[in-house]
Structure 1
Amino acid sequence: MKSGHDAVRQLRYLPAVGSAYGVEVLDFAALRAMDPERRRVRPQRPDFHVLALIGAGTGAHEADFHGYELEEGSAVWIRPGMVHRWRDVDACDGPLILFRPGFLPPGCTAAEAATPAGWHLDRQRLTLALLAAEHLRREHDAAVGHPALASPGLLSHLLAALLLRTLPATSTTSTTSTTSTTSTTSTTPTAPDGPVDVFRGYRAAVEEHFAEWHQVGDYARALGYDVRTLTRATRAAAGIGAKALLDQRVLLEAKRLLAHTDLTVGACARRLGFSDTGNFTTFFRRLAGTPPAAWRAGETL
């Protein structure tokens, strides 16, 4: 992607008329019909979730600088704020589930952090996932066609079932173990809410303040936990420590700014809360392995 030329399109959640339930079920054919200008191949940044299953066909997708080849059995989970593009889905067939962040079942919080943007399902798991998506679609259509039958709670539970059926094994294991741990640690003085709630609060705070607060201690003080509690909860949910998660979030935003804007390196540094460009360059080089200017040049070739 060339900086300054592929402007990122911001996508807001705008459900179809009669579909204001926090979730909507489409498919790739509908996506192509709604997008005759092929804007889908350009960078876009939704403020909602998109879960896609490839039931047939091949294609390509890109999310936050990672490319994914699509084929039968491919699964894609685009989270709010991700910069992504459907590089080629002209021959893809399968469901697209759009849903608001608040509609995501709480038990899937850990899985959201641990799951990549793209992975693959074997044939048996794909068959079951497509059945789960079809069940969700039928209930959604019933809610739209007959509002008296509408049940957001039911739709949320069906979405949770679909996610649990679709997620990679490691993410499902993480969700199960974290959920079960909650009951055994709920009386711990340092984490009365349990690790899932601690992690959820930390990640939300990071998303809000990553451009201001670069130390885990800042979040610990704001949330009322100690640093070790945040680190344990984050490691249990995401597989990395609290500082690593924070640094990766800052690095990701730095890459987005470098790739998709014409801001100077110094301006990017200031946007991300670095008072000194040299400190930002050191931070970027340590995590990305190359200085920001060189990384940008490589992205724009």
Structure 2
Amino acid sequence: MENGHGAVRQLRYLPAVGSAYGVEVLDFAALRSMDVHRRRTQPQRPDFHVFALVGSGTGTHEADFQHFRLEEGSAVWIRPGMVHRWSDIDACDGPLILFRPAFLSGFTAPEAGTPTCWHLDHRRLALALLAAEHLGREHSAAARTPHLASPAVLSHLLAALILRALPGAPGSTGTRQSGDRHTDVFRTYRAAVEEHFTDRHQVADYARALGYDVRTLTRATRAVTGTGAKAFLDQRILLEAKRLLAHTDLPVSGCARRLGFRDTGNFTTFFRRQAGMPPAAWRAAYGTAGARGL
């Protein structure tokens, strides 16, 4: 996608040799050495997860129009489809884990309400780095000795790392178990929203398709994310609208069509209600901020 701020790179999961298990373990230093042209500082949209821990140093990161200060103890989770850029990681050190969306298929998805960036205290950071080191060693052993490779082991170690690093872990009420019905219902709803948000704008449409009633979807979504099903759906549509306005040259009418609105007026009304300004004004404001490098 392109606009006046340059192209958004669409990043596909292309593992290095010996990393064909759905997960790859590297670090900030490796990223810098592989990216001598500093393309990491430009907007990019991966189709895979990136989980990072800052063990030392400081820097900055931007994801979906939010700016984050990185420091020792920062944890970053970039989900597939996010538009992000490593604004400045020249002084950051720590592990970077890349993995396919399906690699944690047995995971209970407690990340549903997890922010993009959060902070670990020294004790939790030490434990998370230890978990990342264990994963990295197992990954290296699998690459060197394929007959010892175990995707199941790698998947479990990755899940352990993420659970260790999640806000409030261990044992917080926000970390839900696989038997939690609210979590299971929300995961189903979230997947359906991700697939159909451009053509289904009402919760009732999802309820009918999934075999739930609207109240069930609303309770489950609020239990996991703190917001209702309709607000969750509207925020997903709004996020994609912001991405289109910021990172493409599509006119507002084209963005409206891409997102399934019957006419530009309906889209403008929706965007103004959700974002507090019309689409053209938001595009202009974001463009000005982008030109200043904020």
- Structure 1 Cα separation of the partners of residues 170 and 41 of structure 2: 29
Native 8 Å contact 1:51 1:77 kept in 2: yes
Partner AA of 1:221 in structure 2 = R
> Secondary structure of 1:179's partner?
coil
- Structure 1 Cα separation of the partners of residues 94 and 171 of structure 2: 22
Asked if residue 278 in structure 1 is aligned to residue 265 in structure 2, the reply is: yes
> Secondary structure of 2:277's partner?
coil
> Secondary structure of 2:172's partner?
helix
Identity %: 74
Asked if residue 45 in structure 1 is aligned to residue 45 in structure 2, the reply is: yes
Native 8 Å contact 1:7 1:43 kept in 2: yes
Native 8 Å contact 2:64 2:83 kept in 1: yes
- Structure 1 Cα separation of the partners of residues 76 and 88 of structure 2: 14
Q: CA-atom RMSD, angstroms?
A: 1.6
> Secondary structure of 2:212's partner?
coil
- Structure 2 Cα separation of the partners of residues 256 and 135 of structure 1: 37
Partner AA of 2:27 in structure 1 = D
Cα distance, 1:5 vs. partner?
A: 2.8
- Structure 1 Cα separation of the partners of residues 226 and 140 of structure 2: 38
Deviations 1:190-232 (A, max 9, x none): xxxx322221111111111100000011111111111111111
Aligned to 2:193: 206
Aligned to 2:250: 263
Cα distance, 1:170 vs. partner?
A: 7.8
Count of aligned pairs between the two proteins: 287
Cα distance change, pair 89–7 in 1 and its aligned pair in 2 (3 A): same
- Structure 1 Cα separation of the partners of residues 64 and 219 of structure 2: 27
Cα distance change, pair 65–47 in 1 and its aligned pair in 2 (3 A): same
Deviations 1:102-128 (A, max 9, x none): 11254441x222111111111111111
> Secondary structure of 1:26's partner?
strand
- Structure 1 Cα separation of the partners of residues 9 and 32 of structure 2: 17
Aligned to 1:179: 177
Partner AA of 1:226 in structure 2 = D
- Structure 2 Cα separation of the partners of residues 298 and 241 of structure 1: 29
Give the TM-score, by structure 2 length. 0.94
Deviations 1:16-72 (A, max 9, x none): 112111111000111011111110000000000000000111110000000001111
Unaligned runs of 5+ in 1: 183-193
Asked if residue 71 in structure 1 is aligned to residue 110 in structure 2, the reply is: no
Cα distance change, pair 235–170 in 1 and its aligned pair in 2 (3 A): farther
Native 8 Å contact 1:40 1:86 kept in 2: yes
